[in-house]
Amino acid sequence: MSGAADRVIVIGDVMTDVIVIPEGPLVRGSDRRAAISTRPGGSGANQAVWLGAMGTKVSFVARVGARDKPHLEAYFKGFHVDPVLIADASKPSGMLVTIIDPDGERSFLTDRGANLDLSHSDMPVWLLDDCRLLVVSGYSLFARLPRGAVQWMAAEAATRSIPVVVDAASVGFITEVGAQNFLDWTRGFTTLFANSDEAFALSGSTDLDTQMQRLGETYRRVVIKLGAAGAAAGDATGIRAQLPAPQVTVVDSTGAGDAFAAGFLTAELAGADLEACLSRGIAAGSAAVTRIGGQPD
């Protein structure tokens, strides 16, 4: 990539992921041995780190507990990410507990902490002057203050003809707030990334082509992650491209969608066509599931 406007801005959550891998099914009211570890996480943070690791010039905007800011800044810089972290003096950084099933699927328990107070005044509007793409984590839309902040920043990007990408992030939260609200909040955004469950929740259909058509009424482009089946991209006319995924041994699916999005967008910024973007995203997502945690080592 070259030129004056190469920066990608990512807005989203910073979390500490507590990863729990039980030896078997949980025993209600009793014990189960498990391997437990902590790793940096958060969908927005994951995307930023994957983008930085892939060589993309990226700035990451988030709100964190004040005591965590220095070491988090150093951490992100280690992945070639420019951290724009706002210190919160009253709330700690977010924390997420991930429980991983034997098949690699995961369930989350989330305390978003300081992420919930990300506000309009935290937005680094000056970064838009050399920005090529704004990426918003859907988690930022599920609470009032961060939703207003990212909508304001997206509107500022639109005035500069900067594309805005949103990742749907959580089928549970989409169901909680209502699909139509999510679509209304992101109307005018350029691209939607969603997995199969999120696409179903937002479109009301299980048919992939119908999902593309319905969601294409809100977004110019729709990219749907199909897990082991690969991924597809389309618009209001339906599916434009679809590719399978390689067979891999799934260890942990945390962050695979974030790696996919980073791979897809990195390829696009380099000028690749749609199929090549899907291929790069699938390769990144497939590699991510073979290791523990949502970010590269």
Q: What would the pLDDT profile of 90-100 be if each residue is shown by its tens digit?
A: 999 999 898 98
Domain boundaries, the chain: 7-14+41-94+113-288
pLDDT of residue 5: 63
Q: What would the pLDDT profile of 253-264 be if each residue is shown by its tens digit?
A: 778 999 999 999
Distances from the Cα of 94 to the Cαs of 41, 88, 180, 244, in angstroms? 9, 11, 27, 35
Alpha carbon distance 200, 174 (integer Å):
11
Alpha carbon distance 257, 226 (integer Å):
10
Res. 248: pLDDT tops 70: yes
CATH 1.10.12.10 fits 7-14+41-94+113-288, yes or no: no
| pTM of the entire predicted model | 0.90
Are the C-beta atoms of residues 190 and 163 closer than 8 Å to each other?
yes
Q: What would the pLDDT profile of 169-182 be if each residue is shown by its tens digit?
A: 899 999 999 999 99
Are the C-beta atoms of residues 84 and 136 closer than 8 Å to each other?
no
Closest CA to 60 of 69, 88, 285, 193: 69
Q: Are strands 231-235 and 221-225 parallel, antiparallel or unpaired?
A: antiparallel
Q: What would the pLDDT profile of 7-46 be if each residue is shown by its tens digit?
A: 999 999 999 889 899 998 888 899 999 999 888 888 899 9
pLDDT of residue 250: 85
pLDDT of residue 3: 43
